[in-house]
């Protein structure tokens, strides 16, 4: 099983600041990594797929990078609605697994 | 609009059974891979089960032999039949399109709460 480790667990930032979230895989997943946003009480939402491709309707302030075992999600300038939990997920092989999540909270 | 809506959650005693439903709109359940994912209190997301468009099914080890995924094409609805429920099955259960090694989870529903307690 591929283990995805996200860091930091919590990121305390102010609106307008840049957020950088990390996801590290225990073995290579090539580019087969996605990022999801999860606001409390809402459906999780696909943000980035295949490491760097924004999903339909996702604002340009969200960007993803990386390949192999190290991946980054960057939010260039935080909007109030961006404060949420973010998960990475791979589809390299079975079973599909998620990272433990990074909570982006208002400082 | 492409969306999925879950229902059927509730409070159930340990050892009991429950059936969750996921009604899809804007796309066909029978033509897509469909998954269940859960989130236990204070925990992250855990993939539970997947059904391929061809009908093959897959399960996480934690639910294998107790849960069954199925679909009703005429109702465009996905199901999760849960038997022998345990306290550690307590979670919000999400339905999502996709979730195979070939595609991503998109879209997701808002989830339905399952609480296993006496």
DSSP string, B36-97: EEEE-TT--EEEEEEE-TTS-EEE-TTTTTTEEEEEETTTTEEEEEE-S--GGG-EEEEEEE
pLDDT tens for A50-87 read: 999 999 999 999 999 999 999 999 999 999 999 999 99
What token pair was written down for B6?
Answer: 């879950």
CB contact under 8 A, A87 and B45: yes
> Given A38, A46, A91, which is nearest B101 (Cβ)?
A91
CB contact under 8 A, B94 and A46: no
**Which pLDDT band, with edges at 50, 70 and 90, does A38 fall under?**
very high
**Mean pLDDT for each 10-residue chunk of chain B (118 residues)?**
96 97 97 96 94 94 97 97 98 94 92 97
CB contact under 8 A, A97 and B47: yes
Q: What is the pLDDT of residue A94?
A: 82
- A1 vs A104, residue with greater confidence: A104
Q: What is the pLDDT of residue B64?
A: 97
- Compute the half-sphere exposure of residue A93: CA atoms within 13 Å on the CB side of its CA: 9
Contacts of A99 in chain B (CB under 8 A): 44
Q: What is the pLDDT of residue B102?
A: 84
Q: What is the pLDDT of residue B101?
A: 81
Q: Least CA distance to B111: which residue of chain A?
A: A43
DSSP string, A34-73: EEEEE-TTS--EEEEETTTEEPTT--TTEEEEEETTEEEE
Residue A26 has pLDDT above 90, yes or no: yes
Q: What is the pLDDT of residue A102?
A: 98
């Amino acid at each position: 099983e591929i283990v995805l480790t996200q860091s930091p667990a919590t990121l305390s930032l102010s609106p307008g600041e840049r957020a950088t979230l990390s996801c590290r895989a225990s073995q290579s997943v090539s580019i087969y990594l996605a990022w999801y946003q999860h606001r409390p009480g809402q459906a999780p939402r696909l943000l980035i797929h295949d490491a760097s491709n924004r999903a339909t309707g996702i604002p340009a302030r969200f960007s993803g990078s990386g390949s192999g075992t190290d991946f980054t999600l960057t939010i260039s300038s935080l909007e109030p609605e961006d404060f949420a939990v973010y998960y990475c997920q791979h589809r390299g092989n079975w079973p599909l697994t998620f990272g433990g999540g990074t909570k982006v909270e208002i400082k | 609009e492409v969306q999925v809506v879950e229902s059927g959650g509730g409070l159930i005693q340990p050892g009991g059974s429950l059936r969750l439903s996921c009604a899809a709109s804007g796309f066909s359940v029978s033509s897509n891979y469909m998954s269940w994912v859960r989130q236990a209190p204070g925990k992250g997301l855990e993939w539970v089960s997947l059904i391929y468009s061809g009908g093959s099914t897959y399960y996480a080890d934690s639910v294998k032999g107790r849960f069954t995924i199925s679909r009703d094409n005429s109702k465009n609805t996905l199901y999760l039949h849960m038997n022998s429920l345990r306290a550690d099955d307590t979670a919000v259960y999400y339905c999502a399109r996709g979730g195979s090694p070939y595609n991503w989870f998109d879209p997701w529903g808002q989830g339905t709460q399952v609480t296993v307690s006496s």
